[in-house]
Amino acid sequence: MLLKPPSVRASMLVAALTLLPIAGHAQAASGAAAPAAKARPAVLQGIEKQGFKVLGEFDAPAGLRGFAGVVSEQQPATAYVTADGSHVLFGTLFNDKGEDVGAAALDRLVAKPMSDTIWRKLDASSWVRDGRADAPRVIYTFSDANCPYCHHFWQAARPWVDSGKVQLRHVMVGVIREDSPAKAAAILGAPNPSAVFLENEHSFSKGGIKPAASISPALANKLDANQRLMLELGFQGTPGILFRDAQGVVQRVSGMPQGEDMEKVMGPR
């Protein structure tokens, strides 16, 4: 039904540590963070060609040099270069306690900066507020006016929204039905978008609001931008939900949250 991409933290968990033998040279790591002047090992070029983008270096054990980065522009991952610079290990490195030795560095160098960028993009998108403006928790959700799962999420969120604990920001897209873009335009183009959005939800079982008779170029551009952002963030359907965890890292949920996942998204009641 809906593609469920990994969360930022979940994507850190790589199933295996793969050895990639590629010629190159490197120096041993030293200190909590590598000096800026330290040359990047040539051996990394092989996995960079395969989609790994290095964002920073961190201290690693056993003479390895640790590198934090992203795969496909959005999945955090780590790579370790051997002391002789001739091989690179890509994936998760565990110590004797079963701890991921690169997890903290991945948070610091990749996950948090990526999350801040994602949050800025969401804030700049065309969204409709549902809930108090001063609610302490903000949750973004890509929503289609015709999507039944979006409607179920809206209904399930009422205890948090009505109590003032959560503000939902509906990033409107038109992907479910032929008239979905026109309904999204009717909401975004209204003098009070929040009121029209709520009208659609309250009348959802009767077909919702009437679609706009036409979509202006400005509104069409907003809807196109919202849909591009939805795809960029890894969602193939609605709702696509994003929230920050206790560490400020953005987490993703595709589709209607089930069971305990609802409180993970919304926070405590």
248: CATH: 3.40.30.10
pLDDT at 57: 95
258 shares its domain with 140: yes
Whether residues 26 and 86 share a domain: the answer is: yes
* Number of domains forming the structure of the chain: 2
CA dihedral 237, 227, 232, 236 (to 10 degrees): 10
143 and 106 housed in the same domain: no
Last residue of a domain, one of 111, 137, 161: 111
Where is the domain boundary, 111, 135, 168? 111
204 in the same domain as 98: no
Preceding omega of 148 cis (within 30 degrees of 0) = no
**Torsional sign, CA 68, 70, 76, 77:** negative
- Could you tell me how far CA 156 lies from the centroid of its own chain? 22
Per-residue tokens: 89: 């290990």
One domain, residues 20 and 55: yes
b/e sequence 184-201, b meaning 16+ C-beta within 10 Å: bbbbbbbeebeebbebbb
Residue ending a domain, among 80, 111, 142, is 111
- Same domain membership, residue 87 and residue 202: no
Please report, in angstroms and rounded to a whole number, the separation of the first and last CA atoms in the chain: 29
- 254 and 152 in one domain? yes
Q: Which residues of the chain fall short of a pLDDT of 50? A: 1-35
Q: Do 153 and 241 fall within a single domain?
A: yes
Q: Are residues 145 and 86 in the same domain?
A: no
Q: Are 95 and 137 in contact (CB under 8 A)?
A: no
Query: pTM for this structure?
Result: 0.74
Shared-domain flag, residues 65 and 142: no
pLDDT of res. 37: 52
The rounded distance, in Å, linking the Cα atoms of 78 and 88 is 10
- What pLDDT score does 15 carry? 27
Range of the domain at 179: 125-266
129 with 260, same domain? yes
